[in-house]
Structure 1
Amino acid sequence: MVEKLRVVCPDCDSTNNVPADRPADAAKCGRCHAKLFPHAPIALSGERARKHLQNSDVPVIVDFWAPWCGPCRAMAPIFERAAQALEPRARFVKINVDENPELAAQYGVQGIPALFAFQKGQVAARQSGVADVNTLKSWVDRLAA
Structure 2
Amino acid sequence: MIIACPHCAGLNRIPAEKLAAAPVCGKCKQPLFSGQPVDITSANFANLVQKSELPIVLDFWASWCGPCLNFAPVFSQAARELEPNFRFGKINTEQQQQLAAQFQIRSIPTLMLFQQGTMIAQLAGALPKSQFYQWLQQNAAKLNSVS
Which one-letter code corresponds to 1:69 in the other structure? C
Cα distance change of structure 1 residues 25 and 37 upon mapping to structure 2, 3 Å threshold: farther
Report the Cα distance in structure 1 between the residues aligned to 2:47 and 2:18, rounded to whole angstroms: 24
Give the superposition deviation at 1:135.
4.1
The amino acid across from 1:74 in the alignment is N
Instruction: Verify: 1:16 aligned to 2:12, yes or no.
Output: yes
- Does structure 1 retain, via aligned residues, the 8 Å contact 2:10–2:47? no
Q: Using the alignment, how far apart are the partners of 1:48 and 1:28 within structure 2?
A: 18
Q: CA RMSD in A?
A: 1.6
Does residue 6 of structure 1 match 2:2? yes
Aligned residue in 2 for 1:142: 141
CA spacing shift, 1:10–1:23, aligned 2, 3 Å: closer
Cα pair distance change 1:130/1:65, threshold 3 Å: same
Q: Quick check: 1:125 aligned with 2:121?
A: yes
1:27 aligns with one of 14, 23, 29: 23
Q: Where does residue 96 of structure 1 map in the other structure? A: 92
Q: In structure 1, how many angstroms separate the alpha carbons of the residues matched to 2:66 and 2:82?
A: 25
Q: Partners of 2:129 and 2:80 in 1: how far apart?
A: 11
Runs of at least 5 residues in structure 2 that lack an aligned partner in the other structure: none
> What TM-score does the superposition give when structure 2 sets the normalisation length?
0.89
TM-score if structure 1 supplies the norm length?
A: 0.90
Letter in 2 for 1:130: A
Aligned length: 141
2:69 aligned partner: 73
